[in-house]
Structures are given as C-alpha cells and as structure tokens.
Amino acid sequence: MPYLVLKQVQDNQSNGYLLPPYLEELIPADHAARVVNRVVDLLDIRELTSQEKIEGRPAYHPRMMLKILIYAYSQKTPSSRAIAGRCGEDVVFMWLSGMQKPDFRTISDFRKNNINVLKKLFKQVVQICHKLGMVRLGLVAIDGTKVKAATSDYGAKTKDALKEALKAVEADIEKYMAEGLAIDRAEDTLYGENRAGQELPKEVKQALEKREAIVAAIKEIQEIKERDKTGKKEPKLNPLESEARFMKHNGGRIRLSYNCQAAVDEKEGVIVAAEITNEANDKKQMLPMLEKVEETVEKKPEKAVMDAGYYSKDNLEKAEKGKTDCYVTSRRWEEEVQEKGVQEKEETEVVVSSFANLPLQKRVGAAKEDRVMEDSETRSNEEPADAVRRMEAKLQTEEGKEIYRQRKKIVEPVFGQIKFNLGFERFRLRGSDKAGGEWTLVCLVHNIKKIYARIMAKGGEMHDLTRELQADYNPASKKRGILPTQERVWK
C-alpha cells in the first residue's frame, strides 16, 4: 500500500524568511482591490479630512482611509470594527492600508465626518465611467427601493406615547439634578465653596439629549398631521431618527426606512444619479432625479423610463417641456398590459385553430377586417388632446413597448446587486443627511465594481486601463498642475 506524502504544515508555519515578503506580490494582478486602489488614486480628495489632531502621532492619510472604506463595502463589511480587524488580518486590507492599523473609532469618525464629501467623489467616479465609454445616456431607467433605517421600528411612538416618554425623561432629569445639588452641598461643606465646576454626569447629558429628541419628534408628528387632513392613521416616529418613515417593503412588511432613488444607464448598468427621500411615493422624485443625472454627468439623457410610481399629470406636462424623452406608465396601463399578456397566452391556440378552419375567402375577409379596425384605432389616436393621452399613445407604439420592457433589465438588477452582492439592506448611519451619504457611497462602490467587470471582460489588462485613465481623466493632477506622467506608477 503506497504511503501518502503530506506537506509539513506545522514546520512551514514556523519557517522564517531570508528577506521579508513583498506585500505587492501577494495580491493577484487581476484582484478587485487593485481597481479600487487605482481609481481612488485618481480622485481629487482635498475636501476629505482625517482625524483633527493637535498633538500626538500624525493623522492617517484620507486617501488610505477611503481605499479601505470602499473596499470594505464591496466585501459586505460596513462595520468599522470589522474593518479595523481586517486591517490586521487580511492581506488585501493590509496592502491597501500600507500596513497601517486605524482603530474602529477612527474609521467610524472618518465615515461620519466625510459623508457629504462622498457625493462629490461619486460624481468623479461617474465621470471616469463616462470617459471609459461605460455611460452613453441614450436611455436611463429611474426607480426607487426601500432600505431599512438604522433605528429600530419598535422605538417609534405616537404623539401621545411620546408625551408620556417626555414626562418620564423630565422626571429623570429632575432626579439627577437633585442628586447633583445634594452632592454639591455636601462637597461645599467638606471642601468649601470656592472649587472648580465639574461637567454634568453622563446620565444627565443623555437625558437632556433624549428630551430634545422627543420634543422634536412631537413637533414633527404635529406637522405631519397638519399636512395630512385625512387622519387615517396616527403617525409614529422614532425620536432617535425622526426623519425616517414607515414604508412597505417586498413581502408586505412595513418598516422604518428611506426611499433610495437611483438612475441607471442602460449601457453597462452604471448608476449616474443617487438620492434618498423619506417619502414612500416616487411621484415627487421624477424631475429632481433627471436634474441629478445632468448635474452628475453634465449632460441630459436622451430618453428616460420610469414605472407607475412616478406617474402624474403634472410630471408628464413638465417632462414634455424638457429635452429628455420620458416614458412613464400608469397603474392602469401596467395592469392592462399584464391582463392582455395572460389573455393572449390563453386565447392564442383557440384563435389560431378557429382561423385555420375557415374557408380561404373568409380568412382573407377576416384579415382585411382586422386591418381596417387597427387603422381606424390608430387614426383616432393620432393627435391626443393632453399630456396623459399623448403618453398613453407613445407607450402603445412598438418603440414605447420596447423601451418599457428594457426598464426591468436596466434598473432592477442593480438593486439586486446592491442588496445581495453588497449586502446593503440597512443603513448604519442615522439621519437623512448621513443616510444619503451612505447610499451615495454604496452607489460609488457599485460603479467601481462595474469598472472592474469591464476590465475582466477585456481580458484583465489593467495596465492599459490605468494608462488610459491617467492620460484622459485626472482632476487631482490637473488642479495641482501635475502631469499624468508625474503620478506614482501603479504596479
């Protein structure tokens, strides 16, 4: 019986190196981290800030911090503690960080303090995609998806419940203040009245902040009730994140969420505009998203397609005045298309068999009759009276039907990739401003992964791509007066 020859794993683990290993060689040439590294090197990051330190060791470079943050989101690792851990364990993170090990608080503060700057970096990444020919703006699909807010659903309360919570918090504040005064009197008796003041206890600070949040939430609920005259249901808010709203997700579950908007270009699925709103309905997002596309790419899309969530007469009338040819369906149109598809499938066999059994002359007569009916219907819809009828007529054309069929193929896969591949189903930051910045960061990561996919589709020749990017698009170098050849060579 032959003996198996096994490697001595334990002995290999204890072996040393004559020369230290070169970290660069441990990263495969076609690894996604190399694209993250190269793209971030091209960005103008002068508005990013790292730790603001007056003394102690120097702050970490914001470019390095941005690299590990973007790569972490691409690997389903948004937690600052998990990122800090991987900087000391994962060879890819070690390479991107240059063997530096920022702690979780530093990573968390960097993300929070620079969340609004990420929107400008997103624009730069979209422009890189445009320079690479990945964005055409021939057809853009706009849609929204619900993403869970950072705060708990169970912390949301009605106005009356918030008033009861406010009474409890104020009672706690009175108790803490009474305890503090008693301690002050005792210390004055012991040490004398001339002593330095001390900060409020942690419990008092937290109670004061909680009272402020509850008061703001009560005010917000009152404003919601004044706007909504129907009074169908008592609104509920979480005082820790009063901007989030309850929204219905797939599967019917209602959760505190934000409505995340994205405009996706048809060519390679690049997100060309991103925004969030606390309105569950998409109606008010149509025109702002079209403006966002132009702001980001500095060019208007030729055509845009949206589902019935964006449909309103006002939107259609305003869209007709713009330069973008919009295709927006109504609920009724979508329902009719679905019903028609089912009926056509059921009736096809019956119609074909009955037509085949007719004599030849009757078949010709039936065919002519059908054609006459179609022509009369077409003539009756040649000049619709208003924007609603004009949109219905446009969607009935072959071009309109084909464009609407493309909508699901363009935008729906992007939301699937973000939620499944990136694992982004819940915000980690509270408040609409920070949540909006985090959504922009996720969309930026998605676009960088699209750049990586393009490289792989071309055979993984990243050196050619980086030379093309460096020569064609480098705002940081241009603003500093540095030629592309003076930039550090990427290996």
Distance CA 127, CA 107 (A): 27
Cα dihedral 312→318→319→324 (10° resolution)? -160
The structural domains of the chain, with segments of one domain joined by +, span 19-114+461-486, 157-237
Of 487, 471, 426, 438, residue with least CA distance to 128:
471
* Selected residue with higher pLDDT from 208 and 452: 452
Of the CA atoms within 13 Å of residue 298, those in its CB half-sphere come to: 7
What span, in angstroms and rounded, lies between the C-alpha atoms of 467 and 487?
11
% of the chain at pLDDT higher than 90? 39
More confident residue, 29 or 415: 415
| pLDDT per residue as tens digits for the range 37-80 | 999 998 999 888 765 555 556 789 999 999 999 999 999 999 99
Hey, what are 463's tokens? 């050196």
Spatial distance between the Cα atoms of 475 and 491, rounded to a whole number of angstroms: 21
> Beta partners for 263?
142, 273
Strand duo 245-248 + 254-265: pairing: antiparallel
Range 359-368 contact pairs with CB under 8 angstroms and sequence separation of 24 or more: none
Q: What is the mean pLDDT of the chain?
A: 77
Residues forming beta bridges with residue 258, ordered by sequence position: 147
pLDDT digits (tens, 9 = 90+) for 303-354: 999 999 999 999 999 999 989 999 998 888 777 766 665 455 544 444 434 4
